Amino acid sequence: MKRFIIFFSLILSVLHSRAQKTLAFPFQGGRDVMMTYFKDNIVIPESLKKIKATGTAVLKFTADQKGTIQKIVVYYADDYSITIPFIEALKKSDRKWVIPDEEKVHDFVISFTVNLLPQSKVSAAVQKQVYDAYQQRKPIFATNQVPLDMATLLPAIITTY
């Protein structure tokens, strides 16, 4: 009888305990498709290339059940100008996002970085341009608490030009 009770309680505990769900990657096609998509769709404007701008932007966006992006929030950016190509690429990714079945909307956090191509020798003029762009930037900071709730942190996207 004791064995039966122990076995029955073990079966009940197994049935009631739920393992952590593994979610599918939230971009249609998976991680590699997402990385390729952003590599192909982020276009750095000539104005940023001309001043040798570099930096990072952290964005949060909300997608609905159809994968449509509803809003984009800039949590951090080294300069507003570097966010523009990233926001444009995100807008083009409409209807490519997959959210869990039981949710109506889901938040995603993604980090974008733009860098110069590494060169073996960098001239003093290029160094001065990078320094001048760094000095003239106007960072964007979140000045209040950042409610992340159930946001999914996506892999960082690094773009070079």
What pLDDT score does 145 carry? 79
What pLDDT score does 13 carry? 65
**Alpha helix locations (H) across 42-79?**
46-50
Helix (H, G, I), strand (E, B) or coil at 49: helix
Residues of the chain with pLDDT under 50: 19-20
What pLDDT score does 55 carry? 95
Q: Is residue 140 within 8 Å of 85, Cβ to Cβ?
A: no
What pLDDT score does 111 carry? 97
What pLDDT score does 14 carry? 62
Instruction: Kindly report the average pLDDT of the chain as a whole number.
Output: 88
The dihedral sign for the CA sequence 46, 50, 51, 52: positive
Domains delineated in the chain: 24-160 (3.30.2420.10)
What pLDDT score does 10 carry? 64
- What confidence tens digit (pLDDT) does each residue in 60-100 have? 999 999 999 999 999 999 999 999 999 999 999 999 999 98
What pLDDT score does 49 carry? 92
**Alpha helix locations (H) across 1-140?**
2-16, 31-41, 46-50, 80-92, 124-136
**Distance from chain centroid for Cα 21:** 21
Place of tokens 């020798």: 121
Rounded Cα–Cα distance for residues 24 and 74 (Å): 25
What pLDDT score does 91 carry? 96
What pLDDT score does 123 carry? 86
What pLDDT score does 22 carry? 58
What pLDDT score does 150 carry? 83
In degrees, rounded to 5, the angle at the alpha carbon of residue 27 between the alpha carbons of residues 25 and 33 is 100
In degrees, rounded to 5, the angle at the alpha carbon of residue 88 between the alpha carbons of residues 44 and 61 is 125
Helix (H, G, I), strand (E, B) or coil at 12: helix
Global pTM value: 0.79
